[in-house]
Structure 1
Amino acid sequence: MCRLSTVVALSALMQSVSVADAAEREDLLDVLEGATELATKSGMNANFVPGMVTILNGDDLLQRGARTVWESLALVPGLSLGLEMTGERQVLSRGVGHGYASGNIKIMLDGVSMNSSLFATANSVLNIPIEQVERIEVIRGPGSSVHGEYAYAGVVNVITRTGERQLRLQASEDGGSGLGGIWYWDDPERDLSLSLNLTGLESNDAGVRVNEDALAALGESYLSNAPGHSNEAQRYKAAFTNLQWRGLFLDLKLIENSYGDYFGVNHFLPPADNNLASLQHTVLAQLGYDPRLSATLSARLRLEFLRQERDRDQLYVFPASYLADEPIYMDQDYQETRHRGLADIFWRPNPDHTALFGLELSRISIDQAKWEWTNLPFEISSTWLDTDHDRTILGLVVQDEYRASDQLTLTATLRYDDYSDAGSLLSPRAAAVWRIDDANVLKFQYARAFRPPTFYELEYAAQVDLDASEIDTFELGYILTKPNWEARATAFHSDLTNPVLFDEITEDGYVNAEDVRLRGVELEYIQRLGSQLKIDANLSYVDAVRPGSDTALPGGARWLGNLGLLWRPHERWLAALQLHYVGKRHRLDEAVYSDLDDSTTLDLTLNYQTLAKGMSLHAGVKNLGNTRVYYPQILTSFGGVDLIYPDGYPRAGRRWWLSVSYAF
């Protein structure tokens, strides 16, 4: 059954089942949405897949006050958030992912990989408002055996809303105001459906107050725009279209994501002029067909086209009198195009055995990479990246899922990837899931994942041959499920080989840096107290170190925690308190950069929702206690001098938001 048809069927089931109150409907929804294809592509309940998969429901995220995909990921055990100096969103998984051009997580949109080959990031997806999201599926840890490149420290699949009809108004103190809506039409007799999901937001956000920038450390504060505010203006426009006819579907997605230059590319605070200095445009088209070949054979066929543009418009680089009499700005244009074909064959000779054979072919080319400088006192080439560089990838996947007994399921996966510019890589996985009884599940998994060098890293490499980085991970998981509560525990050990990082010592470019070891534990707990109260919590610890030098990996925190309290005093009303804790964050290894202090933030959300169609209201306050929060800065330098924000990147304090929708 296609995904849209499944959603419609589930909606009909929800309306036909007689339940006592909204809490029971939520429990039923949890059961219906527990299945995922992210871990194996074959589809099964998340409790029984290899490794640990977290499923975040879009409605639940909205009720808790999450405003974007990026914010939502902080609720996942082991994941923390970060920023690049000009506003690019970062997600760190188990301490991995800090730095410039640091895409270490595979980010997908409705199953399509969105990581740019320039930086391996996907900012446009992370900035999608939660109102457009049906659910988010997350693999913590390696996923390359199924998903290939950049599924290194995790995999995120954002599934957009379809099958609904609603109009929406959004407003917030810092995230933009605008309109959105979803329209849906279907013809059950022809098994034909069409869905359109639209959103437009704009904000002239004043940003956060900055007292000192890098010029203070240089003793040149008189040249600075600080004290002042970061430029965090933004504009987001998106249109997601889905057309389905029987087993055939066509997806078209258009995203325009523009934002200010935040803290400045060289850590010189830009003018607070609301200039949209970064512009990202995404065009995605996907054609798919899921034929049933026989009683035991089925297939999944996909053709994808992805064009991504990443432009800079008057990006503030240097203040007046630093290199020239006038401020120096940069305009930069980059465009890449990816064509991808995918064929998966599933063979199910009996209910206990599923085999997968997959073939993927991708071609990525750079269409444009130019820049222009204003007021630069010397000449510079107009091309900043080799536009003749392209990449062809051939991927082969073989997977065998075997249910040895009613209690034991074994999964073995092997993926082979051949890169035209980065060599060949193998990504094996071996996993066992033991259903001890109806309440207890024990999991074990070994998996290897990889991350090839990006186009940017290859262009600015400090060594001749920049190798892909690999990570080997062992995981042991345990799930205990009771009628009113559930607990999970995961222990993991990972060894990172040849991580690709900017050389912080010589500052000559990117190198295969010192190996890294990760060890940690992730704990989760959910408790329902009657029909009115629900508590959930998670706590994670990771020790991320370089054994050779006995230094901590910068950017991450050893301790992360979340505590949620949802209270439903009436079937139409829900109040949510969400507490988020981030422990001390390691900064650069040099002694002059001390760790950032830990922080605890509290979000309050009030929700009103009619039982069926009609009006819904969600309003909340983020960071209710107005806690001072800082993200670790990324090293930049000029002329051999480190340029930093002494306290890191400050984030916004207390702020309000509102989302009103009408379903029809």
Structure 2
Amino acid sequence: MLLIVGPPTISLGHNKKASIMKKVLIFTSIMSSISLACYGADDLFDEGLWELSPEELGQIRVTSIASGTPTPLDKAAAVATVITAEDIEKMGATELDDVLETVPGLHVNKSFQAYFAKYTFRGISGSTYNPQALLLINGTPLTTLAIGNRYTIWGGMPVKSISRIEVIRGPGSALYGADAFAGVINVITKTARDIEGTQVGAGAGSFDTYSSWVSHGSKSGDLEIGVTLEYTDTKGQDGTIEEDQQSAFDTLSGLNDSHAPGEVNLGRQQAEAHLDVKYKEFNLRAGYQGRYHVQTGAGVAQALDPEGEYKSNRALIELLHTNKDWFKDWEISSQISYFFGEQDPTSTSVIFPTTFGGAFPDRVLAEPGYKEEHVRVQVSSIFKGFDQHIVRAGLGYFWGDVFETTELKNFLQDPDGNLVPNPGGFEEFADKDEVWLPEKDRTSHFVFVQDEWQFSENWLLTSGLRYDHYSDFGDTSNPRVALVWATTDTVTTKLLYGRAFRAPSFLELFAISNPVSLGNPNLDPETIDSYEFAVSYQPNNDLSLSGNIFYYQIHDFIQFVDNKAENAGKRKGRGFEIEASYRFNESLTASGNYAYQRSTDEDTNTDVGDAPNHQIYGKLGYDFSKDFFLTTQINWIGKQERIDGDERDPVSSYATVDLAVKRRNFVPGLDLSLSIRNLFDKDGFEPSPGPAAAIPGDLPLPGRNIYGEIAYNF
């Protein structure tokens, strides 16, 4: 599919010396890489591919997320989106979530807990924790075993280290395993080639936001080193929660303990570090994400808490090796990685700011925490010895351990789930039966095979199957089939099928004595089957149009019902997405997309809610010169229905308009930029959980905010 931001892609018609599908096979043969990182335009030019000019090559959009091998976007075996660092720069985005909101069919909802981002693909909204969306960094999952998401203390991700973002809308378990359920997001960080030199910069903006960064890339012989360091400190937006869970308690008891009306608490500090070292056939990558003094948003239990704070530390190191010379027609790649993550309180969370009539003299307090570590080993191969085939196969092993689960608290829960005072007061429950989550581990191993077969001049069939075995859930097999037809010189047609599987997280299975979420050891895994039909049309290098329709069925979807995890039954969804891009001249470009979805519960035939049925995005960019550009964009989110049993009116639609301007080399080496988000200061809200509606007025989004940057390049 075509890009929704930036210039149109190059047309790959028959006039380029070979059939369209033949070029796709040549392209993927040249560019195959287990690392899921794409070559730049200069690398393609060095290969002499199609004898295109460097300028033309620079406009080719390539994705590797769809099949594991880089492929022109409109020929990829999935409905995919690619966003580059240049696109991010031009839209003035400072956070990953700002970028993802431009992807058709993907909406960034907010959780009440620390405003954790929920990546909602095609109406698959999931629970508070959003485990159905898989986030990769350089192809390695950032999923926690404990909760199943990217850590509740996610805190966002700044963008200075990002080279490109690739997104699949739809299941990806045939390549990425059981967590690639509703969609896959792969964030590819910058290498030495992307950075080329040294840049230092600083920024400041609304909500007392301050940031700084430094990046450096260098090459000496066969050694390439790229490093990016970023730091941000912000108080977060100042939206107001009018009523919360404590407000309801106050109404019943006649007390006045709630902090509502009050500001949502979104202060945080964050540090980001990424290192990429390449030497011949070896690639060492390391990353660190630190989040400190992260406030609790609308509260851990939907009661405003200006006191609670948490920290999260995540570190990943991986070594990759790729060899093309060991065997004829074979490329062998291997990867080993180690991940460590922790989430701990730095200030006691006030779960409920009341004594409940003296039962809790110090209010209801808790300090939950945990650590976990993962080891992944994978070997993959690409065989190109068959005529008209590229065969990819691999196997791997995963071990994960959740350990040192800790919890200081002054409450317990009775069999009916009601909070009762702990006889020992505020005490540590680590290694006790009442700790919020017991320590657990999980292992799995997998094997997969995929074939890309050009069985006719303009037809390419990609088929694959992945088998996973889990130590606690047994076996799962997930197939995928993608038929791509170069219908004419300007039209490409796709027919896609995929299945995905998701094992419950440890929190969904084992959480106990928890006022927010209780586990259920009898849960079954979730499964989804998805069907898609897509068409893209590109008559020239200035105009691109595309569209797709989709249908999916979900079995055993996991939700929290009355705070307890349950397999909520069957869901089905359908919808379509349309994208367009047009270049009026060398300076002016426009792009946009529209997405519609309806996801329903098959038992009640009602909308599952908590996701917009309609989304519209549009962008207009004007380049005064290669170093001076202005971009404006509009993002309209349609109304969001409530979940079954929630009697509130739907969440109203809202629209935001953003403006960004950048001047590179204002003086030699000095760059200046300014962005304004929500230019017209429009109100917007994301749904608070129902059906009890502890926060009846929903979760407010930021008003108008301004951010400026200055950077110097050495």
TM (normalized to structure 1)? Answer: 0.91
1:76 aligned residue (103, 110, 130): 103
Moved more, 132-141 or 207-216: 207-216
Contact 1:214–1:645 under 8 Å retained in 2: yes
Are 2:296 and 1:245 equivalent residues in the alignment?
no
Q: Structure 1: how far apart are the matches of 2:497 and 2:155?
A: 29
Q: Structure 2: how far apart are the matches of 1:108 and 1:661?
A: 28
Alignment correspondent of 2:555: 497
1:365 aligned residue (385, 388, 401): 401
Tell me the amino acid that sits aligned with residue 262 of structure 1. G
Q: Structure 2: how far apart are the matches of 1:609 and 1:478?
A: 38
Alignment correspondent of 1:568: 623
Alignment correspondent of 1:283: 315
2:162 aligned residue (133, 149, 153): 133
1:82-137 deviations in Å (ceiling 9; x for gaps): 12212222110001134222211110011111111112211577722122211100
TM-superposed deviation, 1:659? 2.2
TM-superposed deviation, 1:206? 5.6
Alignment correspondent of 1:148: 177
Q: Structure 2: how far apart are the matches of 1:75 and 1:27?
A: 25
TM-superposed deviation, 1:404? 1.3
TM-superposed deviation, 1:350? 4.4
Tell me the amino acid that sits aligned with residue 129 of structure 1. P
1:231-286 deviations in Å (ceiling 9; x for gaps): 11111101111111111011111110232111001211112x6x6x1211101010
Contact 1:415–1:427 under 8 Å retained in 2: yes
Q: Are residues 267 and 248 of structure 1, via their aligned partners in 2, closer, same or farther at CA, if it must alter by over 3 Å?
A: same
Alignment correspondent of 1:639: none
Q: Structure 2: how far apart are the matches of 1:342 and 1:649?
A: 42
Contact 1:244–1:250 under 8 Å retained in 2: yes
1:475-494 alignment runs, 5 A limit: 475-483=532-540, 484-494=542-552
TM-superposed deviation, 1:588? 2.7
Percent identity of equivalent pairs? 23
TM-superposed deviation, 1:351? 6.2
Alignment correspondent of 1:444: 495
Q: Structure 2: how far apart are the matches of 1:358 and 1:613?
A: 49
The 3-state SS of whatever aligns with 1:662 is strand
Alignment correspondent of 2:578: 523
Tell me the amino acid that sits aligned with residue 504 of structure 2. P
Q: Structure 2: how far apart are the matches of 1:8 and 1:50?
A: 21
Alignment correspondent of 1:20: none
Tell me the amino acid that sits aligned with residue 264 of structure 2. S
Alignment correspondent of 1:378: 422
Alignment correspondent of 1:254: 288
Tell me the amino acid that sits aligned with residue 510 of structure 1. A
The 3-state SS of whatever aligns with 1:96 is coil
Contact 1:69–1:125 under 8 Å retained in 2: no
1:578-617 alignment runs, 5 A limit: 578-610=633-665, 614-617=669-672
TM-superposed deviation, 1:176? 2.8
Q: Are residues 125 and 364 of structure 1, via their aligned partners in 2, closer, same or farther at CA, if it must alter by over 3 Å?
A: same
Alignment correspondent of 1:324: 360
Contact 1:356–1:398 under 8 Å retained in 2: yes
Contact 1:102–1:119 under 8 Å retained in 2: no
Q: Are residues 284 and 652 of structure 1, via their aligned partners in 2, closer, same or farther at CA, if it must alter by over 3 Å?
A: same
Q: Are residues 303 and 395 of structure 1, via their aligned partners in 2, closer, same or farther at CA, if it must alter by over 3 Å?
A: same
Alignment correspondent of 1:428: 479
Alignment correspondent of 1:18: none
Tell me the amino acid that sits aligned with residue 72 of structure 1. V
Contact 1:217–1:646 under 8 Å retained in 2: no
Q: Structure 2: how far apart are the matches of 1:498 and 1:457?
A: 13
Tell me the amino acid that sits aligned with residue 592 of structure 1. E
- For structure 1, the 5+ residue unaligned runs are 15-23, 637-641
Q: Structure 2: how far apart are the matches of 1:491 and 1:416?
A: 28
Moved more, 464-473 or 486-495: 464-473
1:73-472 alignment runs, 5 A limit: 73-87=100-114, 88-123=116-151, 127-163=156-192, 164=195, 165-174=198-207, 176-188=209-221, 191-205=222-236, 207-218=238-249, 219=251, 222-258=256-292, 259-271=294-306, 277-292=309-324, 293-313=326-346, 314-322=348-356, 323-350=359-386, 352-373=388-409, 377-379=421-423, 381-382=429-430, 383=432, 384-385=435-436, 387-460=438-511, 464-472=521-529
Q: Structure 2: how far apart are the matches of 1:361 and 1:126?
A: 30
The 3-state SS of whatever aligns with 2:507 is helix
The 3-state SS of whatever aligns with 2:472 is coil
Contact 1:79–1:91 under 8 Å retained in 2: yes
Contact 1:303–1:341 under 8 Å retained in 2: yes
TM-superposed deviation, 1:635? 4.5
TM-superposed deviation, 1:289? 0.2
Number of equivalent positions: 640
2:597 aligned residue (518, 542, 566): 542
Contact 1:68–1:126 under 8 Å retained in 2: no
TM-superposed deviation, 1:643? 5.7
TM-superposed deviation, 1:654? 0.5
Are 2:712 and 1:662 equivalent residues in the alignment?
yes
Contact 2:44–2:57 under 8 Å retained in 1: no
Moved more, 84-93 or 140-149: 84-93
TM-superposed deviation, 1:554? 2.2
- For structure 2, the 5+ residue unaligned runs are 1-30, 47-52, 413-420, 512-517
Alignment correspondent of 2:608: 553
1:47 aligned residue (59, 74, 81): 74
1:333-386 deviations in Å (ceiling 9; x for gaps): 211110110010111114621111110100011121110026883248445355
Q: Structure 2: how far apart are the matches of 1:375 and 1:568?
A: 60
Q: Structure 2: how far apart are the matches of 1:624 and 1:617?
A: 19
The 3-state SS of whatever aligns with 2:593 is strand
TM-superposed deviation, 1:28? 4.8
Moved more, 517-526 or 170-179: 170-179
The 3-state SS of whatever aligns with 1:349 is coil
The 3-state SS of whatever aligns with 1:71 is helix
Alignment correspondent of 2:22: none
1:177-219 deviations in Å (ceiling 9; x for gaps): 121011122113xx11111110011113363222222233341
The 3-state SS of whatever aligns with 2:58 is helix
Q: Structure 2: how far apart are the matches of 1:474 and 1:389?
A: 36
Alignment correspondent of 1:651: 701
Q: Structure 2: how far apart are the matches of 1:417 and 1:487?
A: 38
1:496-542 deviations in Å (ceiling 9; x for gaps): 01111112xxx261111120001000000001101121110100000
Tell me the amino acid that sits aligned with residue 627 of structure 2. R
Q: Structure 2: how far apart are the matches of 1:175 and 1:221?
A: 34
CA RMSD of aligned residues (A): 2.5
Moved more, 589-598 or 283-292: 589-598
Q: Structure 2: how far apart are the matches of 1:210 and 1:457?
A: 28
Alignment correspondent of 2:7: none
The 3-state SS of whatever aligns with 2:65 is coil
Contact 1:343–1:360 under 8 Å retained in 2: yes
Tell me the amino acid that sits aligned with residue 341 of structure 2. Q
Moved more, 593-602 or 643-652: 643-652
Alignment correspondent of 1:17: none
Contact 1:237–1:256 under 8 Å retained in 2: yes
